[in-house]
Structure 1
Amino acid sequence: MGLFKSIFGGNAEPEDFRVGAVGISDQVEKALAYGDVDDRWNAIRAVGELGGPFIDPLVHALKDDFWIIRRGASDMLGRMGAPAVLPLVAILAEEDEAVRRETERALILIGDPSIEPLERALSDSNPHIRRGAIEILGLMRVPQAVPGIIRALSDEKPLVRQEAAIALRRYDEQSSVTPLIGVLRDDYGYVRMAAVETLCLLGTKSIEPLITALGEGTGEYQQRVSLALISIGYPAVDSLIGALGNENVDVRRHSANILGRIGDAKATAALIRCLDDKEKSVRGEATKALTDICDPAIPALVRAFHDGDQIVRNCAMEALWILGTRSTPPLLELLDDPNADVRRRTAILLGEIGDKNSLEALSRKLTDENPAVRREAFEGVEMIKQKCGISRPLPERTPPAEIDLGDPPAENDPPEEKNKKNLW
């Protein structure tokens, strides 16, 4: 308050400041416009005591280059209450985020007197004012503002739609879920992502509407819905397992994919049942999902490979092949199964997997009582050797028979004996 004491004298009291407020308006504006940081700070603190006549200079101070001045102006405007609301709403038109941040803070400090003007601002012609009003009402969690914020999801400006999607995450409103799912069709990625994040934060309220949406729209839209359910994660698993029996093929197909992406072993049994789905696309997604679940799914896949009908066996076989050497130990046990067809199919699969640890067991099946098993075991052994770069051992070489060349000729041998021994 040093600025005003210099004007009124060293013994001036706050009442003197209020009485002379109008007369010093020019000096205040000059201090805020041209003074150094200390002068501006002292002017802001002083006019906060004087109230109404200095709202405009304080609003202008929200644009100051220095944060401490902006923050001081925000504090003082917050204390002034209702008279400051409309000027603050108007300054929401500023694009500078630093200015908007302190303006929003002042309106939140004012509280209830801000609510009605902010609700009216939801339909303002300026998109920056609409966006700011949505953000503040959301931060204040004003319940009666929810319908207006939901309507803003259809605003012509993407930044306003994004802000509406963000604001709705601060409410626990079932009524916002379906409109937010509709935003997943938005042309702008950052708007869609805001909707996805809000749907995830709404949690269980979003799950069933999102699953229903899996059966609607284009592939790209369905992928966005899937992303929301994947992000919700484990809380969605039980509902997704139930959706595997939905009459809509897209719902079943995407549900299988999502369960694989979440990776909860709880879904294994239901996904195994999907290997018998009448739709190939669903069987394919279920197969892939089981490989995504990985090790926990292997015992169930081996049982399906052993016991299932032809379609289920083939899907399980593909999944076990994708899982590769992880599947080898339980498959080796099937090589001794009493059923010759199981042994034959197992030999084929082990050959395709190509794990060299299968060689010994497959080699034993080269003498199997069933010719089809022997044939597939042989093919499997050859495939593994080729994949692992194992060459066939060369046959053992038999040393040549020794030839008796006789004794070398001696000096005293007769000529005919020397001729016999000329082999040397």
Structure 2
Amino acid sequence: MQRVGNPTEERRFNIDLLRAEENIDGLIAALGSEDGLIRQRAALALGDFGDAKAVAPLIRALGDPLTAVREAAADSLAMLGPPAVGPLVELIELPGASERYEEPGAVESAKTVTGPGGLSWEIATRRDLRRVYAAAILGEIGDPSAVEPLVMALRDENNDVRCQAAGALAKFGRGAVEPLTTVLADPDPDVRIVAAGVLGDIGDASAVEPLIGALHDANDDVRGAAAGALIRMGDAAVERLIAATKDADRHVRLYAAGALKYIGDPRAIDALQDLTRDEDPDVRSVAEDALEKIRMVRGEIAPEPSAPTSR
């Protein structure tokens, strides 16, 4: 049986024709189609022309029920670049700004949708979905003006916004290091943990000193996050970690020894040998483990044989 459609509607939403004619208004109208594939293709096409007129409709599409449409809109916003930065930053700074992108009379429903990172949200939270996508897109665009708002978003009430902001900041590299180091003094330990983790992801040597400082943190999880970040720094952190093995704070000595163990640089051997005589038994134990690992890697000692297994 042949399907009878609306010829006018079909011509209006002929995406190939609209793209060929560079008909921005037609493509924007196609974002309102009931056909999800049409909406997806229209969203993708709007990224090709660099027209700022497409920014608001594409931001509206970040709340679409279909993941494919949201992803297409996000890709196109990243391609549009500078014209999209201001509105996306506003979404991060002002959660209520997402309201203006809602269709008049839009009715929420209880459908579950999948968003960035494979996480699921109820469709009723599409306003938050826009903010989550906004953080991720700002990382793709890489405009320096987005760094401070993304750093502020590490304190956002929405956990998914915080996670996407952290991932976005890592893409800014050295440009995000200084703002992130100020966050290492934030009153909220969870924020300090995230900041330390992002600094480790960036891996810039300028973050070593602030992360060494974070080994003094009163919160054990923050100290652990700082140590983990220093481990990822590798060679760039070794000399400063060696110096930290002589710190008066046992926590600093403990985490420095642990980081040196995982980095495995033989330059740390003398300092670790000194720590094997430390007054703190935990520090001594970690230092001994670190020495054993480094020497094993260097072939100075043979690894212990595996225990026999029975069939």
TM-score surpassing 0.5?
Answer: yes
Q: Which residue of 1 aligns with 2:107?
A: none
1:155 aligns with 2:122: no
1:78 aligns with 2:19: yes
Q: Which residue of 1 aligns with 2:237?
A: 267
Task: String of CA shifts for 1:135-178, please: whole Å, max 9, x gaps.
Answer: 5332222x132111111124352210121112212323222112
Q: Which residue of 1 aligns with 2:102?
A: none
Structure 2 counterpart of 1:88, one-letter code: A
Task: String of CA shifts for 1:355-410, please: whole Å, max 9, x gaps.
Answer: 99xxxxxxxxxxxxxxxxxxxxxxxxxxxxxxxxxxxxxxxxxxxxxxxxxxxxxx
For the residues of structure 2 that align with 1:123 and 1:105, how far apart are their CA atoms? 13
Q: Which residue of 1 aligns with 2:4?
A: 34
Listed as ranges, the gaps of 5+ residues in structure 2 are 97-126, 297-302, 305-311
How far residue 104 of structure 1 moved from its aligned partner, in angstroms, is 0.8
For the residues of structure 2 that align with 1:158 and 1:83, how far apart are their CA atoms? 27
- Which protein has the bigger helix share? 1
Give the counterpart of 2:209 among 223, 236, 242: 242
For the residues of structure 2 that align with 1:305 and 1:246, how far apart are their CA atoms? 20
For the residues of structure 1 that align with 2:207 and 2:225, how far apart are their CA atoms? 6
Q: What secondary structure, in the 3-state scheme, does the structure 2 residue paired with 1:243 have?
A: helix
1:168 aligns with 2:138: yes
Q: What secondary structure, in the 3-state scheme, does the structure 1 residue paired with 2:171 have?
A: helix
RMSD of equivalent CA atoms: 4.1
For the residues of structure 2 that align with 1:162 and 1:280, how far apart are their CA atoms? 40
For the residues of structure 1 that align with 2:261 and 2:214, how far apart are their CA atoms? 24
Q: Which residue of 1 aligns with 2:83?
A: 144
Structure 2 counterpart of 1:87, one-letter code: A
How far residue 299 of structure 1 moved from its aligned partner, in angstroms, is 1.5
Given that 2:78 and 2:140 are in contact with CA atoms closer than 8 Å, whether structure 1 keeps it comes out as yes
The worse-fitting range, judged by mean Cα deviation, of 293-302 and 172-181 is: 293-302
Q: What secondary structure, in the 3-state scheme, does the structure 1 residue paired with 2:47 have?
A: helix
Say if 1:104 and 1:172 are closer, same or farther in 2 by CA, change over 3 A.
same
Aligned residues: 259
Say if 1:100 and 1:188 are closer, same or farther in 2 by CA, change over 3 A.
farther
Given that 2:273 and 2:291 are in contact with CA atoms closer than 8 Å, whether structure 1 keeps it comes out as no
1:225 aligns with 2:195: yes
TM-score (norm 1): 0.50
The structure having more radius of gyration, on CA atoms, is 1
How far residue 230 of structure 1 moved from its aligned partner, in angstroms, is 2.4
Say if 1:277 and 1:244 are closer, same or farther in 2 by CA, change over 3 A.
farther
Listed as ranges, the gaps of 5+ residues in structure 1 are 1-30, 44-53, 61-72, 330-354, 357-424
Query: Which structure ranks higher in relative contact order (CA pairs < 8 Å, sequence separation ≥ 6)?
Result: 2
Give the counterpart of 1:193 among 155, 159, 163: 163
Structure 1 counterpart of 2:47, one-letter code: I
Task: String of CA shifts for 1:93-146, please: whole Å, max 9, x gaps.
Answer: x694x343211123234x25x422x344478699449967665332222x1321
1:215 aligns with 2:185: yes
How far residue 209 of structure 1 moved from its aligned partner, in angstroms, is 1.7
TM-score (norm 2): 0.65
Give identity over the alignment, percent: 22
Structure 1 counterpart of 2:29, one-letter code: P
Given that 1:265 and 1:296 are in contact with CA atoms closer than 8 Å, whether structure 2 keeps it comes out as no
- 1:20-99 map, 5 Å: 33-34=3-4, 54=8, 56-59=9-12, 73-80=14-21, 81-91=23-33, 96=36, 98-99=37-38
Q: Which residue of 1 aligns with 2:228?
A: 258
Structure 1 counterpart of 2:89, one-letter code: I
